[in-house]
């Protein structure tokens, strides 16, 4: 089966001369949940931004559903950024728009032959509003549809960002540190939402995380970057302390501040159910 996303000897050197990625090879299959871990500055964010073509690699190739997207531009580049949905650490919502309107912007990006006039005048067809409401309902935040986005909590805003990506009908979802600014309960809700979307839609989800225990819990597969190189690729269930010591390079697998126990995790999810 053709992978959804492939990185072939991907490299990225910034104009400053800093090598952020070196010869990274990664194949992402349909329905996979992949957590990307590693120290700050290891290249995690750079890798995701290359997958979405927010950055242009200085070497190697990026392949989406069998076709190279390494050098696309113009309309093809906009299409890539729609098909490879991106969720950011700081949500990237338009605060003055309502929750529903933010999701409609995602819907608009997935349409071909439609101008930005509907967004400028806040006029969208009924089918678009129905799709947006379905996406909000899927992330369990439809009750906030007509509230301004800048009035939301961090966890609520991140779920709106997920709904906006859903409205794009993506082939893959990337999430760059989506819970780093959230409290533990909100983090679990957001990541469980992504788990549910992965299971329901069969869309691969690739998430950058700092918390190893959360990575174990919310991924089928864990890959690790160190100094811009991919040095770890293992099933989450097989991730060992020895592998983590090698990845982080200090002889220990430190427990992140936001790590929570399985007992606390169960309690949080019971509250959310």
d(CA 154, CA 166): 18
Cβ atoms 218, 225 nearer than 8 A? no
Q: Exposed, middle or buried, 192 (CB in 10 Å: 0-12/13-18/19+)?
A: middle
Q: Per the structure block, which two tokens stand in for 253?
A: 């697998």
Strands (E), 76-219: 84-87, 172-176, 205-208
Nearest to 225 by CA among 217, 215, 193: 215
Confidence band for 262, pLDDT divided at 50, 70 and 90: very low
pTM for the predicted model, two decimal places = 0.87
* Whether residue 112 has pLDDT greater than 80: no
Confidence band for 250, pLDDT divided at 50, 70 and 90: low
The pLDDT of residue 106 is 85
Q: What is the pLDDT of residues 169-199, one digit of tens each?
A: 999 999 999 999 999 999 999 999 999 999 9
Q: What is the pLDDT of residues 52-77, one digit of tens each?
A: 999 999 999 999 999 999 999 998 99
Q: Exposed, middle or buried, 43 (CB in 10 Å: 0-12/13-18/19+)?
A: buried
The pLDDT of residue 255 is 40
d(CA 95, CA 116): 18
d(CA 145, CA 254): 40
d(CA 154, CA 225): 27
Confidence band for 265, pLDDT divided at 50, 70 and 90: very low
> For the CA atoms of the chain, what is the radius of gyration?
19
Confidence band for 257, pLDDT divided at 50, 70 and 90: very low
Helix (H) or strand (E) holding 221: strand 221-226
What residue spans define the domains of the chain?
A: 5-90+172-272
d(CA 244, CA 114): 48
* Whether residue 94 has pLDDT greater than 80: yes
Q: Give SS3 for 258.
A: coil
CATH class of 5-90+172-272: alpha beta
HEC profile of 45-82: HHHHHHHCCCCCCCEEEEEECCEECCCCCCHHHHHHHH
């Amino acid at each position: 089966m053709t992978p959804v996303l492939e990185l072939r000897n991907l490299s990225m050197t910034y104009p400053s001369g800093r090598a952020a990625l070196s010869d990274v090879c990664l194949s992402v299959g349909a329905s996979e949940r992949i957590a990307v871990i590693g120290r700050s500055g290891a290249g995690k964010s750079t890798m995701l931004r290359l997958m979405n073509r927010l950055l242009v690699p200085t070497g190697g190739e990026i392949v989406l559903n069998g076709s190279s997207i390494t050098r696309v531009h113009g309309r093809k580049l906009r299409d890539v950024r729609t098909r490879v949905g991106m969720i950011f650490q700081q949500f990237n919502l338009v605060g003055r728009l309502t929750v529903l309107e933010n999701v409609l912007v995602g819907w608009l990006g997935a349409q071909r032959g439609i101008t930005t006039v509907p967004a400028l005048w806040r006029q969208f067809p009924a089918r678009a509003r129905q799709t947006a409401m379905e996406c909000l309902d899927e992330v369990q935040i439809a009750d906030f549809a007509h509230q301004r986005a800048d009035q939301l909590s961090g966890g609520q805003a991140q779920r709106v960002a997920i709904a906006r990506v859903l409205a794009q009908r993506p082939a893959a979802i990337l999430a760059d540190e989506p819970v780093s600014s959230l409290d533990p309960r909100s983090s679990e809700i957001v990541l469980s939402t992504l788990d549910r979307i992965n299971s329901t839609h069969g869309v691969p989800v690739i998430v950058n995380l700092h918390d190893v225990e959360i990575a174990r819990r919310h991924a089928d597969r864990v890959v690790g970057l160190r100094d811009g190189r991919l040095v770890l690729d293992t099933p989450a269930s097989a991730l060992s302390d020895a592998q983590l010591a090698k990845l982080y390079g200090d002889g220990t697998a430190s427990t992140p501040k936001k790590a929570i126990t399985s007992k606390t995790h169960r309690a949080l999810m019971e509250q959310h159910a």
